[in-house]
Amino acid sequence: MNVTLAVKQYVSKMIENSGPGMKVLLMDKETTSIVSVVYTQSEILQKEVYLFERIDSQSRDNMKHLKAICFLRPTKENVEHLIQELRRPKYSVYFIYFSNVISKSEIKALAEADEQEVVAEVQEFYGDFIAVNPHLFSLNLQGVARGRSWEPSMLARCTQGLTSVLLALKKCPMIRYQLSSDMSKRLAESVKQIITKEYELFDFRKTEVPPLLLILDRSDDAITPLLNQWTYQAMVHELLGLNNNRIDLSRVPGISKDLKEVVLSAENDEFYANNLYLNFGEIGTNIKNLMEDFQKKKPKEQQKLESITDMKAFVDNYPQFKKMSGTVSKHVTVVGELSRLVSERQLMEVSEVEQELSCQNDHSNAQQSLRRLLQSPRLSELDAVRLVMLYALRYERHSSSVLPGLMEELSRRGVSERHRGGVENVYTQHQPLIHDTLDQLIKGRLKDSQFPYLGASSLRDRPQDIVVFLIGGATYEEALTVYNLNRSTPGVRIVLGGSSIHNTRSFLEEVMATAGHSGDRTQGSGRHSNRR
């Protein structure tokens, strides 16, 4: 149950199938992201892939000495681009791989266009998702909902992404969904429809305990995406923004040119892999140790290269030293910027009030702490909005609620009407957290009345292989929960996916976009869960 490995194996197989010789990798916008997250350019270069091109690029040259490996989503636009390509081929031979199921009629159209017989192979390789971590995937979709219903094109794309994950992991699951969410039921039915239609593709070797797909809705827990994060990966996404493992540092004061955009990939960065889930305090200590280790290995300026042996040792060690130098510069810069933002935005104090609002039941203290923080000129608009949202989710119906006064305070601070509208839209959505849901599921106590099975059959044994999908986006905090459950529950393997991976900013954008479609305020049960 490793989504990163599944996509890597697909890409490796594509390259192997094309045989020896120089190659070009022809992709679309989405498959470019899918490949770049699991492979670095230098790794692919070692496999004789010397050129990376977009299928929709008009400026490609004829290069008949290259073989073309095409990895594309099976969209109408891509099929049309391929048809045009095959009518006037720029490369010697084409190995075509679609990231999902393609119709027979489109295969026929491609065959008819291949008059010069340059196509050597057409296959389906089910890598139609972004493998963020081994146990975490995303579809990179924003705005999946119109109010409380699906945006039609998004339902189709989520279905494709989810069935692709199941095919990549070779799982034909039983399906459970969140009853309180019509969107969950619709997606469950849509996935089941594809499994039934493409039953031959899903004909995997039966396991003693069938795998399980659990479909949840982000509206079940509006608190998690609003909280500040304190583990490395989650913190980077919250404060700097991670997009396909890339961070834009161009706005960092005094940043050097080569650090304006950096890549953080656990596959190729040992320090990052070892520190993903550690808290900020531990990261500081580990950065210091990394620096000290680097200083020891740094070539001394006075180092004499007198013999051939000296020179050979220097040359042998230089690539490793250069790589370590890059790792040190990158992480020192990232952690330094995180520290600056924590201090500048008073995030320690903000986080303390967040935890008070989400974990404790002392309304008087909570509202006093919140009002005091809202007076601070250093509090950012984003942090002011998130704190009032957390208060609204927890205390909107409290007899002494001061929500109207807090809304006025936001207005006085100059917070836009658009953001204040977002507060009203998440008043009463918070229900149990994913940790509680999965814990109950693993123990066999998750109620069928709240999370029914699709179809007549149900699981009698404890599930072993679980794919969880969150409509409306997952978070790195939830990924950490899944990582910890995988470590602490032998025999259980969980993979988490979401239509996107949220930080507070992207979640607020989604809430406001949904509010614009729904027209009225969302009502929910108003239940809350104690955080741990």
Q: What is the mean pLDDT of each run of 10 residues along the chain (532 residues)?
A: 94 92 92 91 86 88 91 94 92 94 93 91 94 95 87 93 96 93 95 93 86 92 88 92 90 85 88 90 86 70 54 55 75 88 90 84 88 89 89 85 86 69 41 78 91 82 92 92 92 95 90 63 36 32
Q: Which long-range contacts (CB under 8 A, 24 or more apart) does 54-57 make?
A: 54/26, 54/27, 54/28, 54/29, 55/26, 55/27, 55/28, 55/81, 55/82, 55/85, 56/28, 56/29, 56/81
If DSSP codes are grouped into helix, strand and coil, which group holds residue 8? Answer: helix
User: What is the spatial distance between Cα 338 and Cα 332, in angstroms, rounded to a whole number?
Assistant: 10
Interatomic CA distance for residues 464 and 303, integer angstroms? 57
Give the DSSP letter string of 37-77.
HH--HHHHHTTTEEEEEETT-S-PPP-TTSEEEEEE---HH
Q: Which residues pair with 150 in a beta bridge?
A: 145
pLDDT at residue 416, as a whole number: 65
Residues 6 or more apart whose Cβ sits within 8 Å of residue 399 = none
Distance from C-alpha of 175 to C-alpha of 498, rounded to nearest angstrom: 16
For residue 405, give the amino acid letter. G
Predicted pLDDT at 79: 94
Which segments of 241-378 are extended strands (E)? 246-248, 261-263
Q: What is the model's pLDDT at position 404?
A: 87
Q: Are 247 and 264 in contact (CB under 8 A)?
A: yes
Identity of the amino acid at 277: Y
Angle among Cα 493, 494, 496 to the nearest 5 degrees reads 160
Residues 6+ apart with CB under 8 A from 268: 40, 43
Main-chain phi, psi angles of 238, to 5 degrees? -65, -45
| Cα distance between residue 15 and residue 27, in whole Å | 13
C-alpha neighbours within 13 Å on the C-beta side of residue 100? 23
Q: What is the dihedral of CA 76, 77, 78, 80, to 10 degrees?
A: 80
CA dihedral 238, 242, 247, 249 (to 10 degrees): -20
What is the chain's Cα-based Rg? 26
Instruction: Name 154's Cβ contacts closer than 8 Å, sequence gap at least 6.
Output: 141, 143, 144, 145, 499
- Taking alpha carbons only, the member of 423, 413, 239 closest to residue 339 is 239
Query: How many helices (H) and strands (E) are present in the chain, helices listed first?
Result: 19, 17
DSSP 220: G
Residue whose pair of structure tokens reads 């490395």 in the numeric block: 232
Give the DSSP letter string of 87-122: HS-SSSEEEEEESS---HHHHHHHHHH-TT--EEEE
Long-range contacts of 261-267 (CB under 8 A, 24+ apart): 262/330, 262/333, 262/334, 263/40, 264/233, 264/236, 264/330, 264/334, 265/37, 265/40, 266/133, 267/4, 267/38
DSSP string, 490-530: TT-EEEEEESSEE-HHHHHHHHHHHHHHH-S----------
- Counting every residue written for the chain, the total comes to 532
Token pair of 432, please? 């149990």
Per-residue DSSP letter, 227: S
Strand residue runs (E) in 347-500: 465-471, 474-475, 493-498
Q: What is the 3-state secondary structure of 70-86?
A: EEECCCHHHHHHHHHHH
Cα 21–chain centre separation: 34
